[in-house]
A and B are shown apart, each in its own frame.
Chain A
Amino acid sequence: EIVLTQAPATLSLSPGESATLSCRASQSVDRYLAWYQQKPGQAPRLLIYDASNRATGIPARFSGSGSGTDFTLTISSLEPEDFAVYYCQQRKNWPITFGQGTRLEI
């Protein structure tokens, strides 16, 4: 099973600042990595698929990069609605696995 480790566990920032979230895989997942945002009481929302492709309707301030074992989700100029929990997910090998999440807080 591929283990995804997200860092940091919690990130404290202010609106207007930029956020950099990391996801590291225990073995290469090529570019088969997605990112999700989840707010309290809501279902997750797909942000990025295949490492760097924004999903439909996702603002341009969200960007993904990386390949192999190291990936980054960058949120430029944070908006108040961006404070949430973010998960990465790999589909390179079965079973599909998620990271443990990064909480982005004010």
Chain B
Amino acid sequence: EVQLLESGGGLVQPGGSLRLSCAASGFTFSNYALTWVRQAPGKGLEWVSLISGSGNTYYADSVEGRFTISRDNSKNTLHLQMNSLRAEDTAIYYCAKVRSAAAGNYDGFDVWGQGTMVTVSS
């Protein structure tokens, strides 16, 4: 069974840092792009970042320069390093797998984790 399991969320003060992880199983991890999507309480979905199978990275403007996405193909794990956190970063953070294994074809996010909550507050 294909599964993603996030961890690392919690309460952090404004300006602080947090590192999220997403453990994957049930598929050939290195073949697929992965992404982070967040959802503020009671709000819609917001794309955060994506990393290709080969390590190319993409970011939303709202997190560019503060967040860093990375992957460890030897451990089947995705990470999101979040620095200089702001109140508006408060959200559930989901990791998700891109459906297609074709390079550069990010056609949809077909497997999602259960999400991890990040709260930025003093």
Known: A46-B99, A49-B99. A96 touches B114 (CB 8 A): no
A91 touches B112 (CB 8 A): no
A98 touches B61 (CB 8 A): no
B110 touches A56 (CB 8 A): yes
Specify which of A43, A44, A91, A100 is in contact with B106 (CB 8 Å cutoff): A91
A96 touches B45 (CB 8 A): no
For residue A29, CB closer than 8 A to chain B, the reply is no
For the residues of A in contact with B, the DSSP-based class is loop
Known: A43-B112, A44-B109, A96-B106. A1 touches B45 (CB 8 A): no
The count of chain A contact residues (Cβ–Cβ below 8 Å) is: 25
Measured as residues with beta carbon below 8 angstroms from the partner, the interface class of chain B is 20 to 34
Residues of the B chain whose Cβ atoms lie less than 8 Å from the Cβ of A87 = 44-45
Shortest beta-carbon distance, B7 to chain A, in Å?
15
A95 touches B99 (CB 8 A): no
Instruction: Report the bound CA distance from A44 to B112 in whole Å.
Output: 7
A43 touches B114 (CB 8 A): yes
For residue B58, CB closer than 8 A to chain A, the reply is yes
A46 touches B110 (CB 8 A): yes
Q: Mark B residues whose CB is within 8 Å of A.
A: 35, 37, 44-47, 50, 58-61, 94, 96, 99, 106-110, 112-115
